[in-house]
Structure 1
Amino acid sequence: MSERLKQKRALITGAGSGIGSAIATLFAREEADVALLDISSDNTEKLAAQIQTQYQRRALACVADVTRPEQVQRAVGAAEQALGGIDILVNCAGINVFRDALELSQEDWQRCMDVNLQGPYNLIRSVLPGMLGREYGNIVNIASVHGHKIIPGAFPYPVAKHGLIGLTRSLGVEYASRGIRINSISPGLIMTPAAEAWLASCPDPEAERRRQQEILPCRRAGEPDEVAYTALFLASDEARFINATDIVIDGGRSQVYHE
């Protein structure tokens, strides 16, 4: 344990599974107190209890739909009261919406934009006043390689992720002189429960798994912990001169031409 986040207080959305859960666990291991926000408390309550027992850190399970500003404000208020403030926000909550543009319903379009773009904005607006009051805050948005490269058949998800990277850069510049840093991470194929579910839905899951691995230069998919360590670096004071920047974590895939 290196205590890279000692005396820091972090709020992580989408903390119930996958990348969000890995980030929350790693942050607690590095001495942060954590608020675990998800749309349900089923997994976050168990994770909070585990963190309290294993790492002796304050851990709070919060329930909120990130698309509902009033729910977000209540959850952030509860986290600030329980932890004494929020120094770090990680926006990890997100959903995959992949549709043909002509078949996409207005509801699916709006849900994609609400969760993947409006949701992070709702959280940022809620934590910013406290951060600005202390003139200190680190925000990490989990974007996607879809925000850099277009993969056919993935619309409208890339639209939201392009927007999230733009939000990161714009607000990162806007508040830089007031002690706030805002960065993003763009993961490629990471073996989260959502990725496993997608592979399981394929006609030949093992063949698709092999195909995905073969087009990666490192010949393997990423793990949630590998994203978590990048979030840890960006959220720590080690990265104090990194702002309004996106880091791609995809094993080098986006640098290679494919047929």
Structure 2
Amino acid sequence: MEQLQIVTGAAQGIGLADAFVDEGARRADGHRRTVRRETTDALASKGAQTCFVEVDVADPEAADAMVALTAEWLGPPNVLNGGMGVFPGPLETAAEDWRRCSGVDLDGVWNCGCEHPEKLQAGTKALRPVERIGRPEEIAAAAVLLASDEAHFLTGQNIVIDGGRSAAFHQ
């Protein structure tokens, strides 16, 4: 499947990672300030199909506009990387800053994909389970990933490889 990833908080943290682009994905970067578009420009200079959208994900209308612009410019998105986040620390945080943190970190993910999942799922089957038993090479691919250098920080996790069946049971 051709991937189109929306990355929020694209100017720092996980937003700086270009693993999906390295695998051939197109990418739409969103950030609250246009001056933080260095990541997008760097990816474009490497030949990636990418665009930048100034967005405050805490604003539902702005998040909707970002998803719509992404679809218009690059096609329907099918991966959301909610990498945005603001968290100054719970003990020294004023109430206004706490509300901003919740608005970005929690509401932002909802606003970008969960409030209207059909927008994000336009290009994917999302949580619908694969309607067959997994093939040995599919299970082996996960094992190879876990044993690879790319997964050196992925440790102590339970990885369920069931084609989405267990997620479907919780819907």
| Both structures adopt the same fold (TM-score exceeding 0.5) | yes
Q: Which residue identity lines up with residue 43 of structure 1 in the other structure?
A: R
Question: What is the aligned length?
Answer: 142
1:77 to 62, 68, 77: 68
**4+ aligned runs moved over 6 Å, structure 1:** none
Q: Does the Cα contact within 8 Å between 1:48 and 1:59 map onto a contact in 2?
A: yes
Partner of 1:177: 128
How much identity, in percent, do the aligned residues show? 23
Instruction: Tell me: CA distance 1:241–1:118, structure 2 relative to 1, closer, same or farther (3 Å).
Output: same
Partner of 1:7: 2
Partner of 1:37: 30
Q: Which residue identity lines up with residue 3 of structure 2 in the other structure?
A: K
Measured after TM superposition, the shift of residue 108 of structure 1 is 2.3
Measured after TM superposition, the shift of residue 10 of structure 1 is 0.6
Measured after TM superposition, the shift of residue 98 of structure 1 is 1.7
- Secondary structure (helix, strand or coil) at the match of 1:42 reads helix
Instruction: Tell me: CA distance 1:27–1:108, structure 2 relative to 1, closer, same or farther (3 Å).
Output: same
Q: Does the Cα contact within 8 Å between 1:12 and 1:34 map onto a contact in 2?
A: yes
Partner of 1:113: 102
1:96 to 78, 84, 87: 87
Q: Which aligned pairs between 1:41-60 and structure 2 lie closer than 5 A?
A: 41-44=34-37, 46-54=38-46, 56-60=47-51
TM-score under structure 2 normalisation? 0.69
Measured after TM superposition, the shift of residue 134 of structure 1 is 4.7
- Secondary structure (helix, strand or coil) at the match of 1:12 reads strand
Instruction: Tell me: CA distance 1:130–1:73, structure 2 relative to 1, closer, same or farther (3 Å).
Output: closer
Q: Does the Cα contact within 8 Å between 2:57 and 2:104 map onto a contact in 1?
A: yes
Measured after TM superposition, the shift of residue 106 of structure 1 is 2.7
Partners of 1:107 and 1:78 in 2: CA distance = 30
Measured after TM superposition, the shift of residue 76 of structure 1 is 1.2
Measured after TM superposition, the shift of residue 77 of structure 1 is 0.8
The Cα RMSD (Å) is 3.1
Q: Which residue identity lines up with residue 49 of structure 1 in the other structure?
A: D
Measured after TM superposition, the shift of residue 95 of structure 1 is 0.8
Q: Which residue identity lines up with residue 83 of structure 1 in the other structure?
A: L
Partners of 1:99 and 1:73 in 2: CA distance = 29
Partner of 2:119: 130
Partner of 1:28: 21
Partners of 1:124 and 1:241 in 2: CA distance = 18
Gap runs ≥5 in structure 1: 1-5, 138-175, 180-225, 231-237, 245-259
Q: Does the Cα contact within 8 Å between 1:95 and 1:115 map onto a contact in 2?
A: yes
Q: Does the Cα contact within 8 Å between 2:113 and 2:120 map onto a contact in 1?
A: no
Q: Which residue identity lines up with residue 8 of structure 1 in the other structure?
A: Q
